Amino acid sequence: MKLDRILPFARLLLEKAVSPGDITIDATAGNGHDTLYLTKLVGEEGHVYAFDIQEQAINKTRAKLEENQSAHLATLFLDSHDQLKNKLPQAENRKLTGAIFNLGYLPGGDKEVVTVAHSTIAAIEQLLELMEIEGIIVLVVYHGHPEGAIERDELMQYVTSLPQEKAHVLHYGFMNQVNSPPFIIAIEKR
């Protein structure tokens, strides 16, 4: 057998939790790969809300969706993911079942603009409030850059202290790879 690599495993987790017609969140839109992927999971009846603080990322994501005739399935916010509670429509009656964070910096972009623990954690807290039970939050943690290591440590402290009545927390990663390989933290709402 071949163990699932990090990105395929992140998607497998989302596939288990998300059904057509649901709402999902791409908390770090970047170049739009995950936003596009989520539009395929939720289909024509569902919707994706995607966030990024860089205009370049929002433009790339919009272009990727347009190339794939999927722009109508996503709303893009040029804003921090910790604003998601304020940004999501109040009257949404579909279920929020999945969210993904690909942490770190924009590939091919400004390496100084990175995700940081305080806003990542604030967004997770909001998601835990808004999500359906058994909804999943998937974090792909890139910790090879200095701020990434700080974010990793704060996140690990936060997720390991989440009460087990509130969430199941999974840690998935390869332990013998060189160069700080990314790993997954997945949080299932209970």
Backbone angles phi, psi at 41, to 5 degrees: -70, -40
Region of 67-75, 113-121, 153-161, 181-189 interacting with ligand SAM (CB under 6 A): 113-121
Sign of CA dihedral 56, 186, 86, 20: positive
Count CB-CB contacts under 10 A for residue 113: 14
Min dist CB 15 to ligand SAM, Å, is 16
Using rule CB under 6 A, residue 75 touches ligand SAM: no
Region of 14-22, 112-120, 145-153, 171-179 interacting with ligand SAM (CB under 6 A): 112-120
Tell me the sheet residues that pair with 188. Answer: 136, 168
Contact 165, 190 (CB under 8 A): yes
Using rule CB under 6 A, residue 24 touches ligand SAM: no
User: Which residue number, 26 or 188, has a Cβ lying nearer to ligand SAM?
Assistant: 26
Of the candidates 13, 18, 57, 138, which one interacts with ligand SAM according to CB under 6 A? 57
**Burial class of residue 98 (count of CB atoms within 10 Å of its CB; 0-12, 13-18, 19+):** buried
Min dist CB 117 to ligand SAM, Å, is 10
Using rule CB under 6 A, residue 46 touches ligand SAM: no
User: Which residue number, 116 or 156, has a Cβ lying nearer to ligand SAM?
Assistant: 116
Site for ligand SAM in 125-164 (CB under 6 A): none
User: What is the four-CA torsion angle of 183, 185, 115, 162, rounded to 10 degrees?
Assistant: -150
Min dist CB 174 to ligand SAM, Å, is 19
Contact 162, 169 (CB under 8 A): yes
Take residue 142 and report the two structure tokens written for it. 């890139």
Of the candidates 9, 49, 51, 183, which one interacts with ligand SAM according to CB under 6 A? 51
Name the amino acid, one letter, at 30.
G
Compute the residue count for the chain: 190
Binding site for ligand SAM (CB under 6 A): 27-28, 30-34, 51-54, 57, 80-81, 102, 104-106, 113, 115, 119
